[in-house]
């Protein structure tokens, strides 16, 4: 299998002894797969895909708009979400520093050593997500502290299975789920505000809800979307 970029669309091409070109948009992750007879040239592939560009984009958007971001194998051609936007992943082998970079055309390049495992790739990517989240959380705290009149002494990002965020009011510390790096940033803001409100009100009582209403009037809708996985 080989990934070809055709008009910035990554297409995973497999050559097989088939009669016709077969194009498929994967319903689980929106990746584009093309099965090609051995006799068709690369120019032939490009024109075939080019003619179907608008159908491909429309179908991919449809898939992407309804799927929940899910773990990937960290291979070239896969789709990664960063704050709700899809990016095409390209894995490149490096002898230098292993890292993750955002390129133009909605591409993320993951530079890894040859023979790197899926776990290692996940770790590099998760560290990168953590950095992106921390930067945004810092900005959100900076914005909301004077509005709410509270002080966050410490914050962090970690993988959590059952919660989007936590707050320790006595330590004035909040934690945010790493998963939020994949979702639209409105969910991150909702979680940060929610945890910051806990610095004033520890339970989810009427006072808590009234405070939330005052800060983010759409918070109920945002919460519902987040918990339904529609992001
Ligand atoms: Zn809460």
Domain with 133 in it: what CATH number? 3.30.2010.10
Ligand 1 center from residue 24 Cα (angstroms): 42
Report the separation in Å between the CA atom of 131 and the middle of ligand 1, taken as the mean of its atom positions: 24
Rounded to the nearest whole angstrom, what is the distance from the C-alpha of residue 164 to the centroid of ligand 1? 9
Nearest in space to 194 (alpha carbons), one of 181, 186, 119: 186
Summarize pLDDT for 17-58 with one digit per residue, the tens.
999 999 998 876 778 999 999 999 999 999 999 999 888 888
Residue 148 Cα to ligand 1 midpoint, Å, equals: 16
Give the pLDDT score at 66.
62
Cα 122 to averaged position of ligand 1 atoms, centre (Å): 29
Is 36 among the domain residues? yes
Could you say which of 48, 67, 86 is where a domain stops?
67
Read off the pLDDT of residues 151-205 as tens digits, 9 standing for 90 and up: 999 999 999 878 899 999 999 999 999 999 999 999 999 999 999 999 999 999 9
- Backbone angles phi and psi of 153, in degrees to 5: -80, -35
Number of domains forming the structure of the chain: 2
> For residue 65, what pLDDT is reported?
65
Residues 48 and 135 reside in one and the same domain: no
pLDDT band per the 50, 70, 90 thresholds, residue 230: very low
Supply the pLDDT for residue 231.
36
In a domain, 91, yes or no: no
Span from the CA of 166 to the centroid of ligand 1 (angstroms) = 7
Whole-model pTM: value is 0.70
């Amino acid at each position: 299998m080989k990934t070809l970029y055709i008009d910035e669309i990554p297409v995973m091409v497999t050559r097989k002894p088939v009669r016709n070109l077969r194009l498929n948009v994967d319903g689980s992750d929106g990746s584009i797969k093309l099965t090609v007879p051995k006799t068709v040239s690369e120019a032939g592939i490009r024109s075939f895909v080019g003619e179907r560009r608008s159908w491909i984009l429309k179908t991919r958007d449809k898939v992407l708009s309804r799927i929940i971001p899910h773990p990937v194998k960290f291979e070239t051609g896969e789709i990664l979400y960063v704050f709700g936007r899809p990016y095409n992943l390209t894995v490149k082998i490096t002898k230098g520093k292993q890292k993750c970079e955002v390129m133009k055309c909605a591409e993320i390049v993951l530079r890894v050593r040859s023979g790197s495992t899926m776990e290692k790739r996940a770790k590099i990517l998760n560290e990168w997500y953590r950095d992106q989240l921390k930067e945004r959380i810092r900005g959100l705290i900076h914005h909301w502290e004077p509005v709410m009149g509270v002080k966050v002494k410490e914050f962090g990002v970690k993988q959590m299975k059952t919660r989007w965020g936590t707050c320790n009011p006595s330590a004035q510390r909040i934690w945010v789920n790493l998963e939020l790096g994949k979702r639209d940033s409105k969910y991150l803001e909702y979680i940060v505000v929610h945890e910051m409100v806990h610095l004033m009100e520890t339970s989810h009582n009427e006072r808590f809800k009234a405070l939330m209403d005052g800060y983010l009037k759409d918070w109920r809708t945002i919460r519902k979307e987040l918990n339904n996985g529609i992001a």
